[in-house]
């Protein structure tokens, strides 16, 4: 697995729950959910945005201004813009990945689905994602939302994380197991 896995603490969960409740109250959950997915994609693909959020060098005011400009340019809903601005203004910019992960899990739970994080050695095709969703649905007995990421260090195969469960069918792990078995022999 990569270093980008997020362990969600208490504060990110509270922020995520607040966003979920605000979105439901405003009857804007589908829009907010779309905005959050877009923001996650932007955050994951932009080293500059990550550095801005995580660096203590930038002042809170600069972080709020920059991230607010990003959310405004992306045409996020006013609720999403205000929420992200509040998070950053409360000096929680580095917690954004945890808040997003907790929010996605809470939304999935309310829908009766589960979030599976699939990390593969190469980008998965739509057909592969559909096959993984289908197999996970059979295994878990309920629908699954899949979040994908790429980690070339896996060499081949993929790793699936659902809550605290981990299913690892990566070539990297299989080679490591073989190396340990050969060492013992």
pLDDT at 15: 96
**Whether residue 128 has pLDDT greater than 50:** yes
Average pLDDT along the chain: 91
Give the pLDDT confidence score for residue 2 in this predicted structure.
38
Q: How big is the CA angle at 146 (ends 121 and 160), to the nearest 5 degrees?
A: 50
Spatial contact of 168 and 10, defined as CB atoms under 8 Å apart = no
**Residue ranges of domains in the chain:** 10-107, 113-184
- Topology of domain 10-107 in CATH is Peroxidase; domain 1 (1.10.520)
Q: What are the DSSP E strand ranges found in 19-142? A: 114-120
pLDDT of res. 185: 72
pLDDT tens per residue, range 29-71: 999 999 999 999 999 999 999 999 999 999 999 999 999 999 9
pLDDT by residue (tens digit) across 86-119? 999 999 999 999 999 999 989 998 988 889 999 9
Residue 8: what pLDDT?
Answer: 55
């Amino acid at each position: 697995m990569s270093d980008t896995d997020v362990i969600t603490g208490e504060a990110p969960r509270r922020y995520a729950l607040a966003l979920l409740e605000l979105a439901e109250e405003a009857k804007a959950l589908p829009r907010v959910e779309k905005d959050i997915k877009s923001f996650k994609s932007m955050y994951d693909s932009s080293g500059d945005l990550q550095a801005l959020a995580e660096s203590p060098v930038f002042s809170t005011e600069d972080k709020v201004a920059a991230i607010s400009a990003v959310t405004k340019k992306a045409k996020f809903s006013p609720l999403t813009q205000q929420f992200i601005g509040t998070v950053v203004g409360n000096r929680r910019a580095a917690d954004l990945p945890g808040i997003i992960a907790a929010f996605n899990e809470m939304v999935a739970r309310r829908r009766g689905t589960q979030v599976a994080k699939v990390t593969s050695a190469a980008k998965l095709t739509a057909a592969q994602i559909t096959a993984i969703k289908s197999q996970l649905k059979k295994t878990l007995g309920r629908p699954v939302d899949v979040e994908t990421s790429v980690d070339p260090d896996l060499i081949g195969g993929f790793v699936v994380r659902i809550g605290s469960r981990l299913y690892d069918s990566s070539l990297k792990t299989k080679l490591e197991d073989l190396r340990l078995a050969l060492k013992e022999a």
